[in-house]
């Protein structure tokens, strides 16, 4: 049975020609700055790409099995952000398996701790997990600067 080695969120994963992953901008919390008075729907999402990267240690015989990594993202109120993603885990004997789950948006509608939950399935049955980690989201309200309006027209005509 596969055993987890690494499981985390990052902005981007770059795979080298040698199969070594470079993880760019690891994160566990996001701050979103919103203008004062702007209301955000509870299910709002920002068009931000990010990834969940994991590595798995196989046991002898795992290379003959077909495993899928499943992942879901939950809002702080524990409702689901999107559909469950499923990706086949590439298993080779005596080699650590790597899985990149690409996400094409980040939920910004609720302040608090979002939950990234993953598990392993074989033959559509859960055989390991879940693994979870939290991603914090703080919504910071920015006060709108008040610019005094002059009663005099400051535009000048062109010659």
Structure tokens at 109: 């509608």
Residue 114 falls inside a structural domain = yes
Q: What is the CATH number of the domain that holds 78?
A: 2.60.40.1930
The rounded distance, in Å, linking the Cα atoms of 124 and 131 is 17
Q: Which domain holds residue 127?
A: 3-139
Report whether pLDDT(88) > 90.
yes
Q: Considering only CA atoms, which of 148, 73, 159, 63 is closest in space to residue 117?
A: 73
Please indicate, yes or no, if residue 152 is contained in any of the structural domains: no
Residue 150 confidence (pLDDT) = 46
Is residue 79 assigned to a domain? yes
Question: Is residue 144 in a domain?
Answer: no
Residue 146 lies in a domain: no
Report helix, strand or coil for 66: coil
Is 158 a member of any domain? no
For residue 155, being part of any structural domain is answered with no
**The pLDDT of residue 148:** 55
List the beta strands (DSSP E) in 36-154: 45-46, 50-57, 67-74, 85-88, 97-103, 106-107, 112-122, 125-142
- Could you tell me what percent of the chain has a pLDDT over 70? 90
What is the number of structural domains in the chain?
1
- Asked if the structure places residue 159 within a domain, the reply is no
DSSP for 11-30, please give it. EEEEE-TTS-EEEEEE-SEE
pLDDT at 144: 62
The tens digit of pLDDT for each residue in 96-128 reads: 999 999 999 999 889 999 999 999 999 999 999
Q: Which tokens in the block code for residue 55? A: 């590595």
């Amino acid at each position: 049975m596969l055993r987890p080695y690494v499981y985390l969120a990052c902005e981007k994963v770059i795979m080298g020609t040698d199969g070594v992953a470079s993880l760019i901008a690891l994160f566990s919390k996001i701050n979103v700055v919103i203008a004062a008075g702007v209301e955000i729907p509870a299910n709002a999402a920002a068009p931000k790409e990010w990834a969940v990267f994991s590595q798995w240690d196989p046991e002898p015989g795992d290379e003959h099995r077909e495993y899928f990594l499943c992942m879901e993202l939950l809002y702080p109120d524990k409702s689901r952000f999107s559909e469950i993603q499923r990706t086949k885990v590439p298993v080779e004997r005596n080699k650590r398996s790597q899985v990149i789950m690409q996400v094409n948006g980040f939920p910004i509608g609720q302040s608090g701790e979002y939950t990234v939950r993953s598990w392993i399935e074989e033959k559509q049955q859960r055989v390991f997990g879940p693994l979870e980690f939290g991603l914090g989201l703080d919504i910071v309200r920015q006060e709108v600067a008040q610019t005094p309006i002059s009663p005099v027209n400051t535009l000048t005509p062109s010659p």
